Structure 1
Amino acid sequence: MRRRSLLTAALTAPLATAGAVGALQSPAQAANWSSSDNWGKWTDGAYTVNNHVWGSGAGPQSIWANSHSNWGVWADHPNTGGVKSYPHVGFDLGRDVWNMGNVSSNHNVTVPSGSGLSYCTTFDVWGNGTDHEIMIWTQWHGAVGAIGSYVTDVNLGGRDWALYQGSNGANAVYSFLARNHTTDSWVDITAHCQWLVANGRMPQVSIDHIAFGFEITSSAGGHNFNCNSYELWT
């Protein structure tokens, strides 16, 4: 899967929940699966859990999973620019945007806070293969921001989002950034996708893949990012 390049437009906000620092947390020791391979992947039914360390200058990262809804990573990426990894859980949908059904998701995560950290918790929804990338950021920390330019604010699923639109040189990117950060969140994915088409921002595409995880730019010293629960309704 193609991924986007260096993030722009610094945005910051405080986080309410902190993760531990250091070696892998105890769930990894008894997890159903774990891996330190950059491209480590584990299948759980219709879902895949992916380590997905892909960026230039990345450090070590290890992933563990008990299921697609309970997993986490320990990441030690240097405090330099550019996304280093996107550990995530993925699901293939393959439906036309106007006939995708009521697709929504609920998640609860535990993330670190402090200086030198840069990351976001985000959905990554792909249309027409990898031609169109819809990102839905539910919270973020440090000097990260969306590709492209600010377009407008929009209320979707009962929440306010700031929409940015641009290109990473390989595909169009549409980023919805939550105006109110939360580590415990429900997201109406269908509403985001269909709003883009109804308002002429994106062509009528097939929504092919839905991913959720942590896009990590820097986590020097080693930090834990945990997905405590995750559900996707399709």
Structure 2
Amino acid sequence: MLSKLTTLTTLLAALSTASPLPTSPTTPLLRRQAATLCDQYAYYAANGYEFNNNNWGKGSASSGSQCTTVQSTSQSGVSWSTSWTWQGGQDNVKSYANAGKQFSKGLKISNIRSMTTSITWDYQPRDLRANVAYDVFTAADPNHATSSGDYELMIWLARIGGVYPIGNKVTTVNIAGYNWDLYVGPNGSMKVFSFLPSDGSWKFSFNADVKQFFTWLAQNQGYPINDQHLIVFQQGTEPFTGGPAKYTVSNYNANINL
């Protein structure tokens, strides 16, 4: 009996030594789930990024739900996903689950040197109505509520299932090495500039300086760049109808350089 206990103890000690558990959530051997967000406006923040389930339009659905999962965060970027099913109100946005870059209030767009970002994402399945887009609010008041702004800049990486942006197409332009159709229209009191890939492609990998869009708008669309402050700098997806569907971001980063 004593020899069996000794053998078992020795074996357990050997296994523990051979396969130690990671002691840090950033250890590359283990990707720990950071948070699951299922309440309407469930929120999580870490390492300079913030996440919101943001089911702001769920009232227009006849049925459905959505949960957002934060997989990992670091100073160099994040990975996350959102899963949803929405029915009814096919032309109404149900949510904007997103990852946003945190920053100090009071940043004037004209004083920002660059807003560099990159992303790699996927949607499964793809038989749905949704978009994948960056969403940036600016306002003259640096303390403006983060739920809106004076101006809204959207950069669509995908238009799925025949959905359309706010407003009407006004021109086609090349910015940051991509060709875009620009739509302009009102969202409440905000003026919205939406850039969509002019060839209809889905940009599963995207790398750009968002400041270039603001510079172009200032030069060509009367955007008051010297009077506007950055309110939110986000990336996510707007579901209309479909599902069960899952939007997965394997890597996203954003940087604001002064």
TM-score (norm 1): 0.82
Q: Deviations over 1:15-58 (max 9, x none)?
A: xxxxxxxxxxxxxx951110211111101122111100011234
CA distance in 1, matches of 2:126, 2:175: 30
Q: State the partner residue of 1:53.
A: 55
1:108 is aligned to 2:145? no
1:67 is aligned to 2:72? yes
Note the C-alpha offset of 1:169: 2.1
CA distance in 2, matches of 1:65, 1:92: 16
Q: Deviations over 1:135-176 (max 9, x none)?
A: 000112112111111111111111111111110223111101
Given that 2:108 and 2:230 are in contact with CA atoms closer than 8 Å, whether structure 1 keeps it comes out as yes
Q: How does 1:1-234 map to 2 (within 5 A)?
A: 31-55=33-57, 56-58=59-61, 59-68=64-73, 69-79=78-88, 80-93=90-103, 94-115=106-127, 117-128=128-139, 129=144, 130-179=149-198, 180-204=201-225, 205-220=228-243, 222-234=244-256
Note the C-alpha offset of 1:100: 1.0
Higher relative contact order, structure no. (Cα contacts within 8 Å, ≥ 6 residues apart): 1
CA distance in 2, matches of 1:150, 1:92: 31
Change in Cα spacing, 1:170 to 1:92, as seen in structure 2 (3 Å) is farther
Number of equivalent positions? 204
SS in 2 for 1:77: strand
CA distance in 2, matches of 1:149, 1:83: 18
Please state which structure has a larger fraction of its residues in helix. 2
SS in 2 for 1:193: helix
Structure 1 residue runs of 5 or longer lacking an equivalent are: 1-28
CA distance in 2, matches of 1:202, 1:113: 38
Note the C-alpha offset of 1:95: 2.0
CA distance in 2, matches of 1:114, 1:229: 20
Q: State the partner residue of 1:22.
A: none
CA distance in 1, matches of 2:126, 2:120: 20
* Identical-pair percentage: 26
Given that 1:97 and 1:194 are in contact with CA atoms closer than 8 Å, whether structure 2 keeps it comes out as no
* Pairwise CA RMSD: 1.8
SS in 1 for 2:81: strand
Q: State the partner residue of 1:16.
A: none
